[in-house]
Amino acid sequence: MAQLVVMYKTPKDPAAFDKHYFATHVPLAKRTPGLRKYEVSKGPVGTPAGPSAYHLIALLHYDDVAAIQQAMASAEGKAAVADLQNFATGGVDILIFDTRAV
């Protein structure tokens, strides 16, 4: 499996972020080809030392990194990426990697 991890920094208006994210962005992202599972953080995102700079973390699961790249190159993936400017006012970090059990 592989993961696309999207880490949304605290937005200017958290309520507006949440409304747009769940009503508009999630449905866009769920249409990306090859998506196996979509998870988001629940409640505050913290660190062992306390609060973090992140408002929400999304974990999108695909078969492999090639599947993530294909999803992002698709029309649905491009629409989801373009939508970030509509709500991610605090900034966003995106990571892509393969996973393995240890």
Confidence of residue 39 (pLDDT cuts 50, 70, 90): very high
pLDDT at residue 67, as a whole number: 98
Confidence of residue 13 (pLDDT cuts 50, 70, 90): very high
Could you tell me which of 81, 37, 39, 40 has the C-alpha nearest to residue 63?
37
Give me the residue label for tokens 């913290």: 46
% the chain with pLDDT above 90: 100
Strand partners, 62: 2
Q: How many residues does the chain have?
A: 102
Task: Measure the CA–CA gap between 17 and 32, rounded to whole angstroms.
Answer: 21
Q: Domain limits of the chain? A: 11-31+69-88
Most distant CA pair in the chain: distance in Å? 40
Q: Find the mean pLDDT for residues 9-26.
A: 98
**Average pLDDT value over all residues in the chain:** 97
**pTM of the predicted model over 0.85:** yes
